[in-house]
Amino acid sequence: MKTFDLEFNKFRNMLEEERNFAFTRFSDGELFIMQNKEVELAEQHFVTGDITGHGIYPPEEQKHFIPEEHQFYRNKLIEAFQFQHKNYFVGLSGRKDVGDEAFEWQLALRGSKDEANLTFANVFINNNYRRYLREILPLIDNREILMIVNKGADLGNLPFHCKEAFRIGSNCMIDDYDMVDKVKDFIEYEGIENHIILCGAASLSNYIIHQCFEANPRNTFLDIGSTLNPLMGPEMEGWKHTRGYLTHYWLDSGSPYGTQIDEW
């Protein structure tokens, strides 16, 4: 049985000791794609399988997975989900977010219910987000950093220096898949070791973390999702409409996500 606090402590301790590892998040969007459901975040609506609704999604939030057209990307996502390495950690969507049936579906796809390398996709957000800002970011600042980040992001206000930024656009899991090889080649040709590679690129992050860590596990790869978007300027403000844990912390919205503790 895993707990939200202890899983957070595990990753913090590895960062403190500068042990290289990979953490990759499979939140609900990745889950739906692996289940072969259409996923669309458009300017003013969303689609998840047969469910549609209203939503506000600026360019950095937009994506569209079409099962009839995008099986290559789904297969690559499943490969990333099933990849095994002692220092490769896969974050699952929590029961509170997707329900017991979908949570168990993830375990079955992964192939083990007791694997030490499974964790919470939300381990750095929700009730742990305040700790993430106070305890994780200072440890990141101690290392040299590469980032995969949206082209609209302003990195000038981040609490660390970014050595190299790889820029992606909307629907990056489809349109920017070539970034996987670009990042991998950069790491190889520049002799990058003991760096932290921060990935804030939706499902593209899963591809990059899997394939680049497999090629070079002498770096740390962190899937940071939207955790730093409030610091990235006016072109990255989609979080104000879609990320309750961020509005809870930055805007005092009272969203229940800000205090949610995930359960295994």
Any idea where the domains of the chain sit in the sequence? 4-36+74-259
* pLDDT above 80 for 189: yes
**pLDDT tens digits along 195-231:** 999 999 999 999 999 999 999 999 999 999 999 999 9
Quote the pLDDT of residue 113: 60
Sign of CA dihedral 143, 146, 152, 156: positive
* pLDDT above 70 for 154: yes
**pLDDT tens digits along 68-117:** 999 999 999 999 999 999 999 999 999 999 999 999 999 999 986 668 99
What is the pLDDT averaged over residues 129-151? 97
Q: Judge if pTM exceeds 0.75.
A: yes
Report how far residue 140's alpha carbon sits from residue 121's, in angstroms, rounded to the nearest whole number.
Answer: 19
CA distances in angstroms from 25 to 44, 125, 161, 190, listed in the order given: 25, 11, 24, 27
Residue 146 contacts residue 197 (beta carbons within 8 Å) = yes
Quote the pLDDT of residue 97: 93
* pLDDT above 90 for 49: no
Q: Mention every residue, 6+ apart, whose C-beta is less than 8 A from residue 181.
A: none
